[in-house]
């Protein structure tokens, strides 16, 4: 009887140990925001924690305080930001077994770079909420939050020379500036987006790492006035050489040549295209619960 009791206790212990723990979540904010703004990322963190008990949520902060975090979303070289995030993730013991990632606006694009460049710890699902994956802010139509003066300066700087070395290295928005009228300048001089989109050659490691995702979810805002063109949020863009007609992902050379493995991922059912009514990053709590939360559980 004692031996039987001991065996039962061992089995119970094994079952308890096998109970499915919530997959950790890493989130990255957008331009002009910070990790812990109670009206944005702090709010997202709170509602996820309320709906998924016991989940570990890491809202990425780039810098030693919230002001630096916000400023770095404009002025810190994106490649340096990605390296910093990869270091943070590698050192976090909560993420050793893998994590889901959710990025907002440029944060979605930057987390894709993390998936391509830093496979350890493994990113399981990537949710891009309004991320500009073929580049964007062509014309920089408007500005988030209280950053209008910064954005006025950025507009002037981009107009003067988005693809000059000094601007590329020190202005975040220039690093994913994709001018369809200057495709050669973009491919040659873009230090971030042209690299992660394999515009100058094929990095097989990037391709392999991205294809390791279980799901790559892309949310497009159907009434977006911030991202130009909005179809960039689904990996589409303008037809080369003009800025009026757009083409979807499946008609781009990135897809037809399968430079990132997106065609293969698409055929395997790994790409998810979601549309939500509203302007950039405008969505309801109900929509988030019904549409996004299932990818986190």
Annotate 22-55 with three-state secondary structure. Answer: CCCEEEECCCCCCCCCCCCHHHHHHHHHHHCCCC
Q: What's the first-to-final CA gap in the chain, in angstroms?
A: 40
Instruction: From residue 242, give the alpha-carbon distance in Å to each of 187, 190, 250, 256, 260.
Output: 16, 19, 19, 20, 24
Catalytic residue among 33, 69, 195, 224: 224
* Residue 140 phi, psi dihedral angles, 5° rounding: 45, 65
Q: Is 224 a catalytic residue?
A: yes
Neighbours of 22 (CB within 10 A): 16
Q: Is 170 a catalytic residue?
A: no
Catalytic residue among 105, 136, 190, 232: 105
Q: Which residues contact 240 (CB under 8 A, 6 or more apart)?
A: 180, 183
- Nearest-angstrom CA–CA distance, 48 and 289: 9
Reference 280, options 81, 76, 133, 106; nearest CA is: 106
How many CA atoms does the CB half-sphere of 20 hold within 13 Å?
A: 5
Which tokens sit at 229?
């063109």
Read off the DSSP letter of residue 278.
Answer: S
Catalytic residue positions? 105, 224, 280
């Amino acid at each position: 009887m004692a031996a039987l009791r001991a065996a039962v206790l061992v089995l119970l212990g094994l079952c308890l140990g096998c109970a499915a723990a919530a997959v950790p979540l890493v989130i990255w904010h957008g331009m002009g925001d910070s990790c812990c703004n109670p009206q944005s990322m702090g709010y997202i963190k709170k509602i996820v924690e309320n709906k998924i008990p016991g989940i570990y949520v890491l809202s990425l902060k780039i810098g030693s305080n919230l002001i630096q975090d916000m400023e770095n979303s404009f002025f810190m070289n994106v490649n340096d930001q990605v390296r910093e995030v990869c270091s943070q993730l590698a050192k976090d013991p909560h993420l050793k077994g893998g994590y889901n990632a959710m990025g907002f606006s440029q944060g979605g694009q930057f987390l894709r770079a993390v998936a391509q460049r830093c496979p350890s710890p493994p990113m399981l699902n990537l949710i891009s909420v309004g991320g500009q994956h073929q580049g964007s802010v062509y014309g920089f139509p408007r500005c988030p939050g209280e950053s209008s003066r910064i954005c006025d300066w950025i507009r002037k700087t981009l107009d003067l020379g988005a693809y000059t070395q000094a601007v590329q290295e020190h202005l975040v928005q220039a690093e994913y500036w994709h001018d369809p009228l200057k495709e050669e300048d973009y491919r040659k001089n873009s230090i971030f987006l042209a690299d992660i989109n394999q515009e100058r050659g094929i990095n097989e490691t990037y391709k392999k790492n991205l294809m390791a995702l279980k799901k790559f979810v892309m949310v497009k805002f159907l009434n977006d006035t911030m991202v130009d063109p909005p179809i960039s949020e689904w990996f589409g863009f303008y037809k080369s050489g003009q800025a009026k007609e757009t083409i979807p992902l499946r008609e781009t050379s990135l897809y037809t040549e399968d430079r990132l493995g997106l065609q293969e991922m698409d055929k395997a059912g790994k790409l998810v295209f979601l549309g939500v009514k509203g302007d950039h990053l405008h969505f309801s709590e109900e929509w988030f619960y019904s549409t996004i939360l299932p990818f986190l559980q």
